[in-house]
Amino acid sequence: MLASLSPQKRLLIASGLILGLAVVAPLGGLSSSGAARWLLGAGVLVGLGAWLWSRGAAGPRFTLPERLRVVSRAGLSQRCGLALVEMDGRSFLVAFGDSFAEIHPAPALRPALAQARGSGLRRRGPQRLRGAVR
């Protein structure tokens, strides 16, 4: 049964057992200073277990991908702006102001870039300078 538990839960169970023993010990003839040592040790173990527990629970095991992300923003005036927003892999242009907001699908930039690259912006080999002598 204990093999299926995480190390953090095992530590908490062990510290609880130690605390129980420390409570029962004075009944069996242990001095008050010995009981105080046991209680102090149990408190340290409980504090360590709580710290480890909170460290493990600080962040999720996995993160979900961002569904909405503001790629860039530009101010058009004091009260108006333009933002490029991505949502689920699609891009939108958002024009916004004090009392309005308009959403438009962003034009596809990738085909335009591919067309510009193929239209004559090809790389040429090394050229000789005129009048240069080898």
Could you tell me if 48 and 78 lie in one domain? Answer: no
Between 14 and 61, the higher pLDDT residue: 14
Q: What's the pLDDT tens digit per position in 22-38?
A: 677 666 676 767 767 87
Could you tell me if 46 and 24 lie in one domain? Answer: yes
Question: Does a structural domain hold residue 131?
Answer: no
Question: Domain range spanning residue 44?
Answer: 2-56
d(CA 31, CA 22): 11
The 8-class DSSP code of residue 65 comes to P
Between 120 and 50, the higher pLDDT residue: 50
pTM over cut 0.75: no
Q: What's the pLDDT tens digit per position in 56-76?
A: 765 666 777 778 899 999 999
Token pair of 62, please? 């996995």
Question: Does a structural domain hold residue 98?
Answer: yes
User: Do the beta carbons of residue 94 and residue 85 sit within 8 Å?
Assistant: yes
Q: Which residue has the tokens 């870039």?
A: 113
Could you tell me if 6 and 51 lie in one domain? Answer: yes
Buried b (16+ CB within 10 A) or exposed e, 75-94: eeeeeeeebebeeeeeeeeb
Question: Does a structural domain hold residue 114?
Answer: no
